[in-house]
Amino acid sequence: MTVRPIRIIGDAVLRTECDPVKTFDAELRALIDDLEDTVREPGRAGVAAPQIGVSARVFSYNVDDVVGHMVNPVLSAFDGEQDDDEGCLSIPGLYFPTKRAMTVTASGFDRHGEPLVIHGTGFLARALQHETDHLNGTLYIDTLTGDVRRQALREVRRLPRG
């Protein structure tokens, strides 16, 4: 079991679009194992590869005691809206109301290169969107607007840099 350290805002890997996975090999399976071990830590709903320093389009999730992963995700079928507080392991201790679709479909692959489709609603939909954003070099605070965005940016500047 390998729980990897989480990269903190200020680390360039968090702002870089990840490379698509092209080879489904033992190295990828080891990365997925590490992501799933890392997301099993208490209080974690998702971990994307860049959060552990790897530029690959892979994430893990842990929602309602279901741990899974997705490789090369593409999101579609966005529907409805939710506006709840959201946080991020890479921006520790800060939570802000963040608009997300209420339902979403994620299509991609499993660790063996087999097609995988996840239909998410509520918190799972939020996690799928949040983790896919990480793979694009986007943090949830980038999606905020207005006064909430200004407050978030002020508070982020006060965080110690990792």
Give the residue ranges of the annotated binding site.
Answer: 88, 130, 134
Task: From the candidates 86, 114, 131, 155, give the one annotated as an active-site residue.
Answer: 131
What residues contact 141, with CB distance under 8 A and at least 6 apart? Answer: 88, 91, 94, 96, 149, 152, 153, 156
Asked if 125 and 100 touch (Cβ cutoff 8 Å), the reply is: yes
**Beta-strand runs (E) in 101-160:** 103-109, 115-121
CA angle 57, 59, 60 (to 5 degrees): 165
Residue-by-residue DSSP string for 70-117: EEEEEEEEEES-EEEEEEETTEEEEEEEEEE-SEEEEEEE-TTS-EEE
Q: Which residues make beta-bridge pairs with 83?
A: 99
Residues making up the annotated binding site for Fe cation are 88, 130, 134
Q: Quick check: is 131 catalytic? A: yes
Asked if 140 and 95 touch (Cβ cutoff 8 Å), the reply is: no
- Which positions are catalytic? 131
